[in-house]
Amino acid sequence: MNNYFLCFGLAIALMATGRMSAQSPAPTPPPIPTPPLVLQMPENVHVEITVQDAKDSAKREPASPPPPHANDSTKSIDITKTGSTRKIVVTTRQGKVSVYWVFDGFIFTMGQDGKRVDRDVFDGTMHPAFLRAGGRDYYGVEGVAMEQYKGISPFKGKPCYFYKQEAPATPERQPKALEFQALDGAPPMPSAFTGANQIWIDAVTKLPVAAVLPEGLCTYNFLPAPQAPLDPPPQFVKYSEYMKAMSTRMQKEAATR
């Protein structure tokens, strides 16, 4: 009998202890990210960035046609990289596709007539934002710093380090009432653009997951990396070789003066 009461009392004590533990869990501070805060692009990588704007986020029936867009803003940016060569395919909401090649210090694209080669020196300043990103940085998450860290913030269930980049007010960075909502009826994402970039970095892989930029809500989808080197169009390669030969000749002439 004494053993019975002893066991009964022990069971009650264990149950009470379990309830107390469930009611008052020990607080755990969010982990602090360590360098590198964001991994850079490896030698070979393929990433597609989709841009969701306010019109994309409007809740509608899946079978209904997408709403028309008054401006031809960016819908997706597909970046493939092998070594120092990058191929960037930009698709707009009205269906326009532009293909850029970046290699040997130049940016190449085909002219509107499909014949003329448009080229420019890659200086990292006077180009669209998706081209200004350095050869090793993912577009949209350049310049992430520890002082911008705001804590752990899950993005669609994935634990992420959350950063907020304050920036000077410019026309493209004026506060906008953007509401991003998934078409499946999920609650709106907390990502209205208010003049500051908001960036989610995977807390495990250190790869970008999403970013709220002036263009809208950008999400990153990593695809299988290419196994063979990229092969730029021959007319682009020909121009690059011509420019390199000209530069070599000018250097030799300068050395003999």
pLDDT higher than 80, residue 203: yes
The pLDDT of residue 193 is 46
The mean pLDDT value for 161-181 works out to: 57
- Cα–Cα dist 103/107, whole Å: 7
pLDDT higher than 80, residue 135: no
Sheet hosting strand 149-152, strand order edge to edge: 117-121, 106-110, 97-103, 85-92, 74-82, 44-52, 216-223, 208-213, 196-202, 160-166, 149-152
pLDDT tens for residues 15-53? 544 444 445 554 444 578 999 999 999 999 999 999 987
Give the confidence band of 113 by pLDDT, cuts at 50, 70, 90. Answer: low
The pLDDT of residue 213 is 85
Give the confidence band of 139 by pLDDT, cuts at 50, 70, 90. Answer: confident
Q: For the chain, list the domains and their CATH numbers.
A: 44-60+71-223 (2.50.20)
The pLDDT of residue 143 is 84
Tokens coding 174: 């004026």
pLDDT higher than 80, residue 204: yes
Helix (H) or strand (E) holding 171: none
The pLDDT of residue 196 is 75
CA distances from 246 to 204, 238, 239 (A): 47, 12, 10
158 or 178, greater pLDDT: 158
The mean pLDDT value for 222-226 works out to: 97
- Using the structure block, give the residue that is written with the tokens 């990593």: 222
Q: What is the pTM of this model?
A: 0.70
How distant is the alpha carbon of residue 63 from its chain centre? 29
pLDDT higher than 90, residue 231: yes
Is 252 buried (19+), middle (13-18) or exposed (0-12) by CB count in 10 A?
exposed
How distant is the alpha carbon of residue 166 from its chain centre? 17
pLDDT higher than 60, residue 124: no
- Cα–Cα dist 133/124, whole Å: 7
pLDDT tens for residues 53-92? 755 544 433 444 444 444 568 899 999 999 989 999 989 8
The pLDDT of residue 134 is 53
Cβ 87 vs Cβ 76: under 8 Å: no
* Cβ neighbours of 232 (radius 10 Å): 19
- Cα–Cα dist 232/99, whole Å: 11
Question: Highest mean pLDDT range out of 105-114, 116-125, 230-239?
Answer: 230-239
